[in-house]
Amino acid sequence: MKMTNKEIMKTMYKMLPATNKLEAIKSILDAMTENPLWLLECSSKEFATVYRLHNTEKRKQYLNLMSFYEVRELYIELRTHYYNSVAVDKIF
């Protein structure tokens, strides 16, 4: 049984854990670079702004300018969608 690219992308990506702002930024940038399918479910204003920058360096600069609270909220949104997609993958 051959897996499609979408299935491979879903199963191989692991979101990085974070305990502070710098780790959260690294995790967010990694998720946006890998661009897994569950990223399409994110819909916050912060996510849309960062995602549309299309350049990792610009994204990093923008995330560093954001407050800790905004970065934290964005990380939580991404992590929530990540864990929801992992749970769905394990069910099916």
Q: Please determine, for residue 12, whether its predicted confidence score (pLDDT) is greater than 50.
A: yes
Contacts with 17 (C-beta within 8 Å, 6 or more apart), sequence order? 23, 27
Structure tokens at 15: 């979101």
pLDDT tens-digit map of 42-77: 999 999 999 999 899 999 999 999 999 999 999 999
- Let me know if 92 is exposed, middle or buried by CB neighbors in 10 A (0-12, 13-18, 19+): exposed
Chain-centre distance for alpha carbon 26: 10
Residues ≥6 apart with Cβ < 8 Å to 65: none
